[in-house]
Amino acid sequence: MNKIIDGKLLQQDFKKELQKKVDGIKDKLKLVVIQVDNNLSSDIYVKTKVKLCQEMGILFEYKKFDYILEDELILEIEKLNNDLSVTGILVELPLPEYINQNRVIEAISFYKDVDGLTSYNVGRLSNGIDGIIPCTALSIINILDKINMNLSGINVVIVGKSRLVGMPLIKLLLDKSATVISCNSKTKNLKKLTSLADVLIVAIGEKEFIDDTYIKKGAVVIDVGVNVINNKIYGDCNFEKMIEKCSYITPPVGGVGPLTNVMVINNLICLYNLQNNDLK
Ligand code: NAP
In which order are the strands placed within the sheet that holds 199-202? Answer: 179-183, 155-159, 199-202, 220-223, 248-249
Quickly name the fold that domain 135-252 has.
Answer: Rossmann fold (3.40.50)
Among residues of the chain, what percentage have pLDDT more than 70? 99
Quick one: residue 160, left, alpha or beta (phi over 0 = left, psi -120 to 50 = alpha)?
left
C-alpha distances in angstroms, 68 versus 37, 40, 73, 216? Answer: 9, 18, 6, 47
Tell me the pLDDT band of 2, cut-offs 50, 70 and 90.
confident
CA dihedral (258, 259, 264, 269) positive or negative: positive
- Atom nearest to 261 CA in ligand 1: 40
Buried b (16+ CB within 10 A) or exposed e, 109-132: bbbbbbbbbbebbbebbeeeeebb
- CB-based contact 25:277 (threshold 8 Å): no
Alpha carbons 157 and 180: distance in angstroms, whole number = 6
Alpha carbons 234 and 217: distance in angstroms, whole number = 23
- CB-based contact 114:143 (threshold 8 Å): no
Question: Average of pLDDT values for 161-175?
Answer: 97
- From ligand 1's centre to the CA of 222, what distance in Å? 13
- Domain-wise residue ranges, the chain: 26-117, 135-252
CATH for 26-117, among 3.40.50.720, 3.40.50.10860, 3.40.309.10, 3.30.2320.50? 3.40.50.10860
Beta-strand relationship, 220-223 and 199-202: parallel
Residue nearest to atom 48 of ligand 1 (CA): 185
Count CB-CB contacts under 10 A for residue 22. 17
Residue 1 in this model has a pLDDT that exceeds 60: no
| Whether the domain at 26-117 and the domain at 135-252 fall into the same CATH topology | yes
Among residues of the chain, what percentage have pLDDT more than 90? 94
**What pLDDT is attached to residue 39?**
81
**What pLDDT is attached to residue 81?**
98
**Does the Cβ of 214 fall within 6 Å of ligand 1?**
no
Alpha carbons 205 and 217: distance in angstroms, whole number = 24
- From ligand 1's centre to the CA of 173, what distance in Å? 18
* Model pLDDT for residues 29-87, shown as the tens digit of each residue: 999 999 998 788 888 889 999 999 999 999 999 999 999 999 999 999 999 999 999 99
